A and B are shown apart, each in its own frame.
Chain A
Amino acid sequence: DADVTQTPRNRITKTGKRIMLECSQTKGHDRMYWYRQDPGLGLRLIYYSFDVKDINKGEISDGYSVSRQAQAKFSLSLESAIPNQTALYFCATMDPLNTEAFFGQGTRLTVV
């Protein structure tokens, strides 16, 4: 099994719909992150969490919310999807000892 699992892998949704992207990890790390990737812009941080009670905004959090249901689970929600949220979304966890990052396979989201 993968260290970090994202579901769904692909999703097409309509403008205005609410959608949730899920992430689970088996590494046992407290730190989890959500990034989005756009062509030519690299990966940008949306939200991050250092434990179940610690959730923080990243550089592009507007239009997104998150929920840390457990140490192993971190979900990203788009309350009202818009076309410019079409992107590839990545969840990650980080080993606090050596700060090595582990990424999921990504969720390709298309908002039409």
Chain B
Amino acid sequence: KQEVTQIPAALSVPEGENLVLNCSFTDSAIYNLQWFRQDPGKGLTSLLLIQSSQREQTSGRLNASLDKSSGRSTLYIAASQPGDSATYLCAVADRGTSYDKVIFGPGTSLSVIP
């Protein structure tokens, strides 16, 4: 059964710092991995999608990497800003079962202090 974990559960950094969020998954048979952002009580905003054949994706100050063999992904945020404060969720599109579904990690709550 696919399981997704995220470390740390919460992170607080001063504005301007570069930071890394970690995501691990137990079964490497995935279609892709997606990073989402969730503001409190709000919906999910897709940040980056990495296909299983790719190693990384970049969007602005965000860079996500994928190492499928080790079951790991990182989300790197450069020059953090207070507006980056949110919960970040990673999710894998799992091909290990009889149907395609997206399995989520519990999230990392990020607080960027001005």
Contact = CB atoms under 8 A, between A and B. Distances in A.
Interface of A: 31, 33, 35, 40-43, 45, 48, 50, 56, 58, 88, 90, 92, 94, 96, 98-106, 108
Interface residues of B, number: 24
B49 A33 contact: no
Given A33-B102, A102-B46, A103-B46, 4 more contacts: A88-B41, A90-B44, A100-B49, A103-B36
10 contacts: A33-B102, A42-B4, A43-B91, A45-B103, A48-B99, A90-B44, A94-B93, A98-B31, A99-B100, A101-B34
Given A98-B32, A99-B32, A45 B101 contact: yes
B107 A50 contact: no
Nearest to A58: B101
Given A100-B46, A104-B43, A106-B42, A43 B104 contact: yes
B49 A56 contact: no
A35 B43 CA distance: 12
Nearest to B44: A103
B46 to A, nearest CB: 7
Interface string B14-49: 000000000000000001101010000111101001
B8 to A, nearest CB: 14
Given A101-B46, A101-B91, A108-B41, A31 B100 contact: yes
Contacts, number: 61
A92 B106 CA distance: 18
Contacts of A41: 106
A98 B49 contact: yes
Contacts of B32: 98-100
Contacts of A102: 46
A16 to B, nearest CB: 26
Contacts of B46: 100-103
A102 to B, nearest CB: 7
Given A101-B46, A106-B43, A42 B89 contact: yes
